[in-house]
Structure 1
């Protein structure tokens, strides 16, 4: 399958970083691909910072990453959807790698990720993230999930839950086929790890993911995530 690639970037309170992310996507726009930013009603000027650097800037209220990504997908004109966080920078050639994977038969996939910080433990974290994803066929939003539009629609899009929407979509897509695991890497911000402590954040993420797999309410997990 070939066709236009639509990049959907959900954002909330990202005025300080979104410009860098969108400038990294400028070559894609120049090549005719589409970049859509969906702001959750930020008070810091995120939407204003994105205008001129994206093809479309939407405001989606109330905020919610799943809701925002679904809103972007609904107006996207591409046959391949690529969901990128606002604090994530794509590797050169990422779009071409996506196209090659889809042309080879992949319905969806993700990239290996590298965390931006220099702390030695972050190297362990990123390797563990990438290995776990390759073994389980589950991707996280930091890994830049891409998916054919028809697969995305058949899966029902992102479930409207406040946390773990990426895990839930991965599960639905995995039932149709294993993901293409592309080397990349994407470079994503390690600011949360550094702000709250690397070990503490590792343990929190493990607890939240385990609780979700055991059936915990995503709304309760989101409240826990917001106050580590």
Structure 2
């Protein structure tokens, strides 16, 4: 059965932004009095909205409106402080070019908001590869809920079982598993054993540079 679509996370999978997001979150949570720092903070940087902020700032309960204002301000701060330093990860363009030659539909499913998505895709000239994009503004529930991947599969007009997700975070792989999709785990900021509980993983690699598109054409 030929694979019909490739679904990519954005930050940490295609582009090198995670160090800069982390630095910005460090500033924000410290200013808000959170005890989280280092690995404890990194492990909580998934999801979005009130659910995210309630984890980052223990002891407080945020409304969705309050959380969105904080997250949006954080993202603007990230773009201003570090936006010019983001780069494409090793192997990204080569892998996307090879998939394009095979006429495989590709899309992005990310917890980033639309401003960050537009900023990155336009600055790094990646937009032309993708026919579908689902971001934080497009879903009610973020990863590990499967909504992001299911909406993206729908946008690409591809059944979930014909999709392969490329993801650098365990919660994103979990979302793919819940969506009925196979996944490739990219070990950028997590170790291989962080993905050990998921049975939908085809490969665990350090970057897209370690992959060949032809290996995924018939699965």
Q: Same fold (TM over 0.5)?
A: no
TM (normalized to structure 1)?
Answer: 0.37
Higher relative contact order (CA 8 A, sep 6+): 2
TM (normalized to structure 2)?
Answer: 0.38
